[in-house]
Amino acid sequence: MHKKAPADADKSGLKKEYSFFEDVYDVVRKVPKGRVTSYGAIANYLGTKLSARMVGWAMNAAQSARPKVPAHRVVNRNGMLSGKAHFATPTLMEDLLKKEKVIVKDDKIVEFKNLFWDPVKELTF
């Protein structure tokens, strides 16, 4: 296929700031309360599973994203709260998870495999 036309955003002058970040936010917002997902799963859903890093990086900007993005429901493949250090407070992430009845022990989600929510499976597009 040919390279992307740069004029793609020049659609009827309707300028929207769609970006990879918003796609990530949209998926994260769809994560049901009490469930969790992984960066890789989101990346896979977006078609860039080999670049799960981007998802995590997008989450970094999610702090200022509106509406608020439940970034606390996104963890790494081990179910570990790898991004908890990036929250406002070091305990905010696990605190939010506990509020949703998600058991967190030793910075890891208990029964992670059971609570895992895969957008590719759930959001069959």
Partner DNA sequence: CGTGTGACCGGCG
Partner DNA sequence: ACGCCGGCCACAC
Q: What is the contact surface with DNA in residues (CB under 7 A)? A: 19-21, 38-40, 43, 48, 50-57, 59-60, 62-63, 71, 74, 76-78, 82-83, 85-87
Token pair of 55 as six digits = 């998802």
Kindly tell me which of 33 and 63 has the beta carbon lying closer to DNA: 63
Three-state DSSP class for residue 62: helix
Least Å from the CB of residue 98 to DNA: 16
- Would you say 94 and 104 are in contact if contact means Cβ atoms under 8 Å apart? yes
Nearer to DNA, 64 or 125 (CB): 64
- Nearest approach, Cβ of residue 76 and DNA (Å): 3
Whole-angstrom distance, CA of residue 38 vs CA of residue 31: 11
* Smallest separation, CB 36 to DNA (Å): 11
Q: Which is nearer to DNA, 53 or 99 (CB)?
A: 53
Query: 10 Å Cβ neighbour count for 28?
Result: 22
Separation of alpha carbons 125 and 122, rounded Å:
9
